[in-house]
Structure 1
Amino acid sequence: MSNADDLKDVVDFLAETLPFSALPAEDRLDVAQRLSVDYIPRHANQPLALAPTLYIIRTGAFELRTADGELLDRLGEHDLFGINTLLNGNPEGLTVYPIEDALVYKLSSEAVKAFSAQYEPMGDFFQQVSSQRNRLNRLARNRQSKPRLETQLTQSVRDVITADATPVGCVPTTSIQQAAQLMRDERVSSLMLLDGDVLGGIVTDRDIRNRVVAEGLDLQLPVSNIATTDPIFIDAGALLFDAQKMMSQHRVHHLPVMEQGRVIGMITATDLVRAQQVSPLFLIDDIQRQNDLDSLSELRHRIPALIHNWVQADISPVEMGRVLAAIGDAFVQRCIALAQQELGDAPMRFAWLAFGSQARMDQTFASDQDNALILEREPNQPEADYFRKLANWVCPALAKCGYVLCPGDIMASNPQWRLSVADWQARFNEWVDAASPKTLLNSSIFFDLRVIDGDADLLAPVQKNLLARTPKADLFLALMTQTAVRNRPPLGFFRRFVVESGGAHEDALDLKHRGVALINDLARIHALAGGLSAVGTHARLQAAMDAGLLEADAGHSLMEAWHLIAALRIEEQSEAVRRGEKPTSFLDPDALSPLTRAHLKDAFGTIQEAQQMALNRYARGQYG
């Protein structure tokens, strides 16, 4: 048997290879003594015949593929393969291809079992790697089979209504009886009143029951007498998601479908049920139906399972954020409605504003509240008392529904953030015209804003004034850029990750503050510099490219970087919830595959370059 001096090089290699690096030095020597070495020539078109053995790559490179040949991961020095075959016979049919000449160490199944029994974390590590690779395989299968959930989120209304079908309708002078007979013959639950292809109204089976049968109305009267003459409608290019949201908000079950100003069909709640057997949109509908806070708050428990399903189906984090924001909007709208059942109608027009992630529509598990009220005018004392009571009802109610109170107190319950249109305009003018590093550090979140409920027209003059002002505010843009780049992506010399030191998240990457938030900041700066009204990060980056503020390559690279980091963040949060832990935005880079680590380093590098480009453009290259 070789002694320690003979095997020093191998032992040193194992000291840098998980999970052997966690073993005591004498046990690493024991592992080294049990290894055999094998040379594997490059053969990119033929998979290896794997024995039930652990393979440890000393030099060279391999590709891990599905049974159908789709690339799952690339493996290099210090990586392992053969784990699935060793543990369970590889029922998923994963294959390994040598894409470079390679040297590998091999450890027998008996030795692996012995060391795993002696060191429980080693066995856990092998199980974790096996689970991760099985998950990659499942995601590949999901991509190939176009998962139902993704279809639900991205399918358009046009895809659901019958192609080339003539809209079922009649002229407004048709009698009620003739209209009912037409609905029966066509087997539809609604009828459109049409003048050619121009929509003049809609009548439903419910209208006939409630307005005709129940009231004993003359059946020979024109159907226009019972029709809704100004119906809500939807564009053919809108998503099913938008249709369900619109139906829930307006409590309707039928939406005429329009394309270029003409009617092309009808979509109903039944159509959505058929298209979406399992859907987050039913949660939105359930939220709108709750009549008390206790039952409303119980619905929050359905969100983690939805997110986990999306993660498993490899749904885009952009789509996930959009749906989570819609769910959050529904909770806000229902809380306001329940509050007004107690408080009565508002004494003036108002709107509930969201800032930050809810405004950008990129919420995750750990999103807290950032909200405010905008009022039609300066309130008198009774009016101010009403909005104080409204905010003090809604904000705690949202907390009960799972949306944590803002640690910085940026909420409508804080009187500082219940302002009139004029006062909001003055506040933004102050932030822009008298900008300082301190004020911008605390106010940047307010530049991502969106109306969630109430009168959206109240925000329009504020936004118009702001976006006319910021492109000409050179000092404001320079200071905002310098403030934004104070946080840098966690990439050090030689492209090594810079992890947190000390604290609860030691040796982890902060994917929020040193990842997605940095891209959000850059997108915000470009949007304000161009006077662009987009709020979401991807929409802002696209608008900046269209306006010539951002080169296409840089913009698309930032989008891809945001997508990767956001996906890793929400995936880690989903797994934390499943483990019964509190979700955070921290990730252990050692848990990532080599291919993902390489992509993540590229993403952080993209952010670094984009930060420098923004500094050069808006702050003359100066960090401040």
Structure 2
Amino acid sequence: MDESLIPNIVDFIGQIDPFDQLSGDVLKDVASCISITYLGRGEQIQFSDDSSEKYLYIIRTGSMEQRKPDGVLRSKMGPEDLFGFTFLEPLKNILDGYTATAIENTLLYLIPHSKLLKLTAQHQQFSESISSAAQLRLRSALNVVWSNKEKGLFLKKVSEVASGHAAVVDIDMSIQDVAKEMRDTCRTSTAVIKKDANIVGLITDRDMTKRVIADGLDISLPIHTVMTTPAITIGPDDLILKAASLMMQSGIRSLPVVRGNEVLGLLTSSHLVQKHRMQAIFLIEKIKYTETAAGLAELTSERQAIFEALVDGKVSAEIIGQVMSMIMDAYNRRLIQMAEEQFGAPPCDYNWVVAGSHARNEIHMLSDQDSAIIMDDSATEEDKVYFIKLSEFVNQGLDGCGYPTCTGHYMASNPKWCQTLSVWKQFYRKWVNNPQYGMLMNVSVFLEVRSLHGNASFSAELQQHLHQLIAQDHQFLHSLVTDAVRVQPPLGIFNKLVVEKSGNNTKVLNIKKYALNLIVDLARIYGLAVGCAESGTRHRFEYAVSQKLLHEDDFKDIIEAFYFVTQVRYNHQLSALRQGQKPNNHMEPSSISSFERKHLKDAFRIISNLQDAAKLRFSGN
């Protein structure tokens, strides 16, 4: 090993789990034993049971895929991924070996297993990590324990952690001038490219190496010839957890932090200390590399364990909803990718959208599926058949992963909800112009949609169309309010009864029907009234405050009520899971603590007051 290479190798492996657990001196010792090899595209490493030295492989650059002897794909790997764990285990556990193939030019670091065996004997925590990786690569989350450090980092907002700077350049600047701007002026690895004040793309120093230097490209060409588009960015109020997941999903090391088209800073992988990775990120990474729907279904217990850890760890209700939504997003996207691989490339442009609690990023253990497909207006009936097959695969796959199919069939696999953009616009016009009960049932589901996969401009255009329709017909909001206040929160909980305003006291509290749904309905009404583009409950109320439609004090009251009631439901679901029961929304008064009873009564009062205010504000007069 060339001694001059060791510092660079130490810096690289020192950021990778589980080597980040080792001291600097131990890392140097490991680096000195590493050999380096280069594989051209298509070259292979054959793993088999023989007496020769085995290695743990670390991908420095490039990508590999592993296949079993029968040709079945075992996994795909990129930079910082490790493989070769299998041969740390007793040979009796080896089945028939596998083959690793470079799917692009790849640089590998090789660590002899004999060296790893010495490390495992000397460092117990490292040994446990290596052992778990040899079994599953990632430890099961069933016994997940959340440390304060993990909560402190990954559950912080991006704005609290990001400190880097990104260059901001014009789309017509030359490649050379952009490189100089990045190196000399801003001293950054990333440039954000704008056209007429709008962000249109990104370029990094790694992109420059791969797309310009490696291909001998003329550096006087405009930067847009080599930029990455669309630009992948993160918002300042997003969770670090979301940023880390996005980096892994996209295979990138930096994210510009933007609000609108304003570049606020840069979040890099160095901000994300590898040893603080959370189980939620591990699960998302597993989902990304799982090759079958059945394989995804096997991860369900880990999803439940993460939910239990979040609730048990007293993480805020808002963040629990976001984390669980990210996990459902990962399942959904992976199943769509599998479906496209199975049925072939989509015959036309389309947008897979989610609705309901999924669209609002408020997923919990009872959340079912609400989805739809918006096809390009050029789609034919034959194209629709393709998308129905794709949707059936995805919806059934999600059901197998613990996300039940919608009892009302508001799913993309229902031909009614797989339509062209023009037909969707006709639906919305019909619903807004005829706000009778049946129409309101349909529109209430699709009044909040979020793009998950495909051409996001379709759902954005549809949402803009909806806001225009509502602005032209104020009677629609009045109809929504009338429908929303048909159900009112109970007066309170007394002894063994839930005391309802109607006088029909019940023995259980349906916390979804009589509290959470009412708050969601109110947020939807206030958000639509001001044309809010966001679908989340908090965002809708906040935007209504910014537009002077809702008083700041009323917002604070209702959002605190929302999160408290949500937390009560989470605790109720957790209790059921711990007892081996199926979670539900029905709470017996005897199971509600005096603390919860007291604050639920306050929450019911706040909901009722805002219902009354909405009736007055949107009376239609």
What TM-score bracket applies, with the shorter chain setting the length?
0.5 to 0.7
Contact 2:488–2:608 (CA<8 Å) still a contact in 1? yes
SS, match of residue 535 in structure 1: coil
Does residue 153 in structure 1 map to residue 155 in structure 2?
Answer: yes
Whole-angstrom distance in 2 between the partners of 1:494 and 1:579: 26
Q: What residue is the counterpart of 1:578 in the other structure?
A: 578
How far has the Cα of 1:560 moved from its partner?
A: 0.9
SS in structure 2 opposite 1:531?
coil
Q: Secondary structure at the match of 1:354?
A: strand
The answer (yes or no) to whether the contact 2:495–2:590 under 8 Å persists in 1 is: no
> Does the CA contact (< 8 Å) of 1:201 and 1:224 recur in 2?
no
Counterpart in 2 of 1:534?
A: 534
Aligned residue for 1:113?
A: none
- 590-599 vs 416-425, which deviates more? 590-599
Q: Does structure 2 retain, via aligned residues, the 8 Å contact 1:359–1:535?
A: yes
Tell me what 1:433 maps to: 433
Structure 1 counterpart of 2:33: none
1:230 to 228, 231, 242: 228
Q: For each residue in 1:383-404, what CA deviation from the matched residue of structure 2 results, as whole angstroms up to 9, or x when unmatched?
A: 1221121111111011111110
Give me the whole-angstrom Cα distance separating, in 2, the residues matched to 1:544 and 1:219.
Answer: 50
- Judge conservation of contact 2:351–2:374 (CA < 8 Å) in 1: yes
Identical amino acids, percent of aligned pairs: 28
Deviation, 1:382, is 2.1
Question: Counterpart in 2 of 1:459?
Answer: 459
Q: Give the 3 Å change call, closer, same or farther, for CA 220–478 of structure 1 in structure 2.
A: closer
Change (3 A) 1:424 1:571: same
Cα offset, 1:596, TM superposition: 2.4
Q: Structure 1, residues 147-204: CA drift from partner, whole Å, max 9, x if none?
A: 6325412242652557xx999xxx9659x9xxxxx9xxxxx9x955799xx9973234
Q: Distance in 2 between matches of 1:528 and 1:489?
A: 23
Residue 257 and residue 551 in structure 1: after superposition, are their counterparts in 2 closer, same or farther (change >3 A)?
A: closer
Does residue 489 of structure 1 match 2:489?
yes
Cα distance, 1:279 vs. partner? Answer: 3.9
CA distance in 2, matches of 1:412, 1:442: 14
> Retained in 2: the 8 A contact 1:172–1:200?
no
Partner of 1:267: 268
Partners of 2:353 and 2:451 within 8 A in 1: yes
Question: 2-side partners of 1:166 and 1:321: how far apart?
Answer: 31
Does the C-alpha gap of structure 1 residues 474 and 358 become closer, same or farther in structure 2, counting only changes over 3 Å? Answer: same
Rounded to whole Å, the distance in 1 between the matches of 2:218 and 2:478 is 71
Q: Provide the C-alpha distance between the structure 2 equivalents of 1:497 and 1:457, rounded to a whole number of angstroms.
A: 49
Question: How much does 1:239 deviate?
Answer: 3.3
CA shift, 1:211, in A, is 9.9
1:446, CA displacement in angstroms?
A: 1.4
Q: Are 1:549 and 2:549 matched, yes or no?
A: yes
Q: Distance in 2 between matches of 1:220 and 1:618?
A: 61
Aligned to 1:154, the other structure's residue is in SS state coil
CA contact (8 A) 1:572 1:587 kept: yes
Number of aligned residues: 454
Contact 1:378 1:419 in 2 (8 A): no
Tell me which amino acid in the other structure corresponds to 1:398: L
Superposed displacement of residue 373, structure 1: 0.5
Please tell me the residue identity of whatever aligns with 2:158. Answer: S
Q: How far off is 1:542 after superposition? A: 1.1
For residues 224-303 of structure 1, the aligned pairs below 5 Å read 229-230=227-228, 232=231, 234=233, 237=236, 238-255=238-255, 267-268=268-269, 271-274=271-274, 276-303=276-303
The alpha carbon displacement at 1:353 in A equals 1.3
Does the CA contact (< 8 Å) of 2:211 and 2:217 recur in 1?
no
Asked if the contact 2:493–2:589 (Cα under 8 Å) also holds between the matched residues in 1, the reply is no
Find the counterpart in structure 1 of residue 407 from structure 2.
Answer: 407
Query: 8 Å contact 1:172–1:194 — kept in the other structure?
Result: no
2:560 alignment counterpart: 560
Within 5 A, what are the aligned runs for 1:7-406?
Answer: 148-156=150-158, 159=161, 161=163, 191-192=189-190, 201-204=203-206, 229-230=227-228, 232=231, 234=233, 237=236, 238-255=238-255, 267-268=268-269, 271-274=271-274, 276-377=276-377, 379-406=379-406
Q: After alignment, is 257-266 or 582-591 more displaced? A: 257-266
When structure 1 is superposed on structure 2, of 341-350 and 471-480 the one drifting more is 471-480
Equivalence map 1:603-614=2 (5 Å): 603-614=603-614
What's the offset of the Cα at 1:496? 9.8
AA of the residue aligned to 2:150: R
Classify 1:423/1:486 alpha carbon distance in 2 versus 1 (closer, same or farther; 3 Å).
Answer: same
Q: What amino acid maps onto 2:204 in structure 1?
A: I
Deviation larger for 564-573 or 297-306: 297-306
Please provide the CA RMSD for this pair: 4.0
Question: In the TM superposition, what is the alpha-carbon distance from 1:282 to its structure 2 partner?
Answer: 2.6
Match of 2:525?
525
Counterpart of 2:87? none
Q: Which residue of 2 aligns with 1:25?
A: none
For the pair 1:445 / 2:437, whether they are aligned, the reply is no
8 A contact 1:365–1:573 mirrored in 2: yes
Q: Distance in 1 between matches of 2:518 and 2:389?
A: 36
Deviation at 1:362, TM superposition (A): 0.8
Alignment check: 8 A CA contact 2:568 2:596 kept: no
Distance in 1 (alpha carbons) for counterparts of 2:258 and 2:521: 37
The equivalent residue for 2:60 is none
Report if the CA contact (8 A) 1:448-1:535 is conserved. Answer: yes
> What's the secondary structure of 1:430's corresponding residue?
helix
Q: Quick one: distance in 1 between partners of 2:521 and 2:166? A: 48
For 1:317 and 1:524, locate their aligned partners in 2 and report how far apart those are by CA, in whole Å.
19
Listed one character per residue, the Cα deviations across residues 287-306 of structure 1 (whole Å, up to 9, x for unaligned) are 12222212222222211111
The superposition leaves residues 4-61 of structure 1 with CA deviations (integer Å, 9 ceiling, x where unpaired) of xxxxxxxxxxxxxxxxxxxxxxxxxxxxxxxxxxxxxxxxxxxxxxxxxxxxxxxxxx
Q: Check conservation: 1:157, 1:243, Cα contact below 8 A.
A: no
How far 1:620 sits from its partner (Å)? 6.4
CA–CA separation in structure 2 for the residues paired with 1:223 and 1:526:
49
* More deviation, 480-489/506-515: 506-515
Alignment CA distance shift 1:172-1:194 (3 Å): farther
Q: Shift in Å at residue 473 of structure 1?
A: 2.2
Is the contact made by 1:576 and 1:583 (CA closer than 8 Å) also made in structure 2?
A: yes
Which residue in 1 is equivalent to 2:126? none
Deviation of 1:588 (Å): 2.5
Write the letter of the residue equivalent to 1:512: K
Q: Which runs of 5+ in 2 are unaligned?
A: 1-145, 168-173, 194-198
Match runs of 1:591-602 below 5 Å: 591-602=591-602
Mapped contact 1:150–1:313 kept (Cα < 8 A): no
Return closer, same or farther for 1:228/1:567 CA change in 2, 3 Å cut-off: farther
Instruction: Please identify, of 549-558 and 227-236, the stretch whose mean Cα deviation from structure 2 is larger.
Output: 227-236
Letter in 1 for 2:247: M
* TM-score normalised per structure 1: 0.64
Partner Cα separation in structure 2 for residue 546 and residue 243 of structure 1: 27
Q: State the distance in 1 between where 2:484 and 2:219 align.
A: 66
Change (3 A) 1:387 1:620: closer
Residues 437 and 201 of structure 1, relative CA distance in 2, 3 Å threshold? closer
CA spacing shift, 1:435–1:579, aligned 2, 3 Å: same
Q: Provide closer, same or farther for how the CA distance between residues 557 and 172 of structure 1 changes in structure 2, counting only shifts above 3 A.
A: same
| Contact 2:254 2:267 (8 Å CA) reproduced | yes
- C-alpha offsets along residues 517-557 of structure 1, whole Å, 9 cap, x if unaligned? 10001111122222322211111111112222222222221
1:378/1:434 Cα in 2 relative to 1: closer, same or farther (>3 Å)?
farther
Opposite residue 202 of structure 1, the aligned amino acid is T
Distance 1:419 1:532 in 2: 24
